[in-house]
Structure 1
Amino acid sequence: MNPTAPAFAPDLLDDRPERVGRSRRNAFVVMLASSLLSLVASLVLSIDAVRLAADPDVVLSCNINSAISCGAVAQAWQASVLGFPNAFLGLIAEPVVITLAVASLGGVRFPRWFMNAAQVVYLIGFGFAYWLFAQSFFVIGSLCPWCLLVTVSTTTVFTSLLRVNIMDNTFGLRPALHERLCGWLRMGVDYAVEVVWFVLLAAAILLKYQAVLF
């Protein structure tokens, strides 16, 4: 007598929907945590901007040395590109990102046009954050710790949103390309690239300012 065949073969079960759901949740958790950190940093920078407007000679708590100086960055023209402190933009944008992340964690599915618009808007914010970093690094010659936190959190929010949009195929990619990109996401390629990028940024900062920092 042949042995009774098992009712199912666990290795043949398709757990992809569960994996995708878990990956989406993780992405929104990262997005929520990052946007909260960015909101705190924007609040601190906004308060410092008001203090500097009242007294240009005020000494800020993060004025550590010539390399790490929030005051030097805040008093440069790049800190108020639109005529008011850039930090005010964070106070406007981050609550929107927090709402998006919380709603998505609660099961809300936003329409494709909204997610595409969010990606485009945050791409602009991503580019603006790195333009400010480049200005601080190459032109102003000083770095602001709170600004660096905004740069890092903007990066993680942008990549988290991009991850979700790729998994949901919000961009309307061809099936073959979509499956290839999802395969890279499942392998964690995006996380690896993000870690390498942050390591390179940290190395660049240490190499340029090592004489002052150590």
Structure 2
Amino acid sequence: MTRPAAGVLPRLHALRHSDGWIFGTMLLSACLSLTASFVLSVDALALAADPAADLSCNLNSVVSCGTVGSSWQAHLFGFPNAFLGLMCEPVVITIATAGLGGTRFPRWFMFAAQVVYTLGLVFAYWLLSQSMYVIGALCPWCLLVTVSTTLVWSTLTHVNIRDGNLFLPRRAQAALRAAIAADLDALAVTIWLLALALLIVLRYGAALFG
């Protein structure tokens, strides 16, 4: 009776480590981020034309895309931050689509992608911290970008560790490869996102729905 159940876990493990699952997750996450970036770009243009524009995601004093989009943090480089997503996510979509087809990019390219996307991840969480603790409002589309960026980064990191693209010392490479083989990366990302949700609830509580 226990044999069928015992065989499920190895199959799930093999599925999670397959190119179809990894690059499929990367592709879906990048598409979600691109969609959110497009909506945010449209909203940014609407705010530029009318700073008092009533955006569809202006739900209350806490959940307000307009409040976040009107801040200086939303235009840190002199243009809407969402434009960065429009430029970067198509590259990730290309990597994911090619990966699903069995293509492997040069090691230097994947290392460069890791560096650039890590900077993007840091930037996304800086913007989230500014939104939560300085601006005092949340943007649902921005949160979607943050979550999808986290998922893209985690899958990209998984691939680069697995394929040895990060130019790490031999011992570090072996330790990290063992960690992803044991699914510790999936556990870490799950805890990471749950902690993020808990942090938002603790910060705003019932005001999120008020």
Fold shared per TM-score above 0.5: yes
Whole-Å Cα distance in 1 between the matches of residues 64 and 29 of structure 2? Answer: 23
Whole-Å Cα distance in 1 between the matches of residues 16 and 207 of structure 2? Answer: 46
Distance 1:199 1:21, change over 3 A: closer
User: 2:159 maps to what in 1?
Assistant: 164
The offset of 1:202, in angstroms, is 0.7
The answer to whether the 8 Å contact 2:15/2:21 transfers is no
Task: Normalising by structure 1, report the TM-score.
Answer: 0.87
Whole-Å Cα distance in 2 between the matches of residues 60 and 20 of structure 1? Answer: 41
Whole-Å Cα distance in 2 between the matches of residues 171 and 20 of structure 1? Answer: 24
The equivalent position to 2:189 in structure 1, one of 171, 187, 194, is: 194
Whole-Å Cα distance in 2 between the matches of residues 41 and 99 of structure 1? Answer: 18
Distance 1:31 1:172, change over 3 A: same
Q: Does 1:107 align with 2:124?
A: no
Distance 1:55 1:94, change over 3 A: same
The answer to whether the 8 Å contact 1:49/1:85 transfers is yes
The offset of 1:144, in angstroms, is 0.2
Distance 1:21 1:53, change over 3 A: closer
Q: Does 1:173 align with 2:160?
A: no
User: 2:111 maps to what in 1?
Assistant: 116
Read off the aligned partner of 1:60 and give its amino acid letter: L
User: 1:51 maps to what in 2?
Assistant: 46
1:86-101 maps to which residues of 2 (within 5 A)? 86-101=81-96
The offset of 1:174, in angstroms, is 4.2
CA deviation map 1:79-132 (0-9, x unaligned) = 000111001111111111101110111111101100000000101101110110
Whole-Å Cα distance in 1 between the matches of residues 182 and 114 of structure 2? Answer: 23
Q: Does 1:30 align with 2:25?
A: yes
Read off the aligned partner of 1:170 and give its amino acid letter: N
Cα RMSD over matched residues? 1.9
User: 2:5 maps to what in 1?
Assistant: none
User: 1:10 maps to what in 2?
Assistant: none
User: 1:7 maps to what in 2?
Assistant: none
The equivalent position to 2:65 in structure 1, one of 43, 67, 70, is: 70
Read off the aligned partner of 1:38 and give its amino acid letter: S
The answer to whether the 8 Å contact 1:20/1:167 transfers is no
**Structure 1 runs not aligned, ≥5 long:** 1-14
Whole-Å Cα distance in 1 between the matches of residues 41 and 166 of structure 2? Answer: 35
User: 2:207 maps to what in 1?
Assistant: 212
Aligned residues: 198
Q: Does 1:85 align with 2:101?
A: no
Whole-Å Cα distance in 2 between the matches of residues 212 and 174 of structure 1? Answer: 48
Whole-Å Cα distance in 1 between the matches of residues 59 and 132 of structure 2? Answer: 16
Q: Does 1:40 align with 2:31?
A: no
CA deviation map 1:54-101 (0-9, x unaligned) = 111111111111110000000000000011100111111111110111
User: 1:127 maps to what in 2?
Assistant: 122
Q: Which has the larger radius of gyration?
A: 1
Read off the aligned partner of 1:188 and give its amino acid letter: D
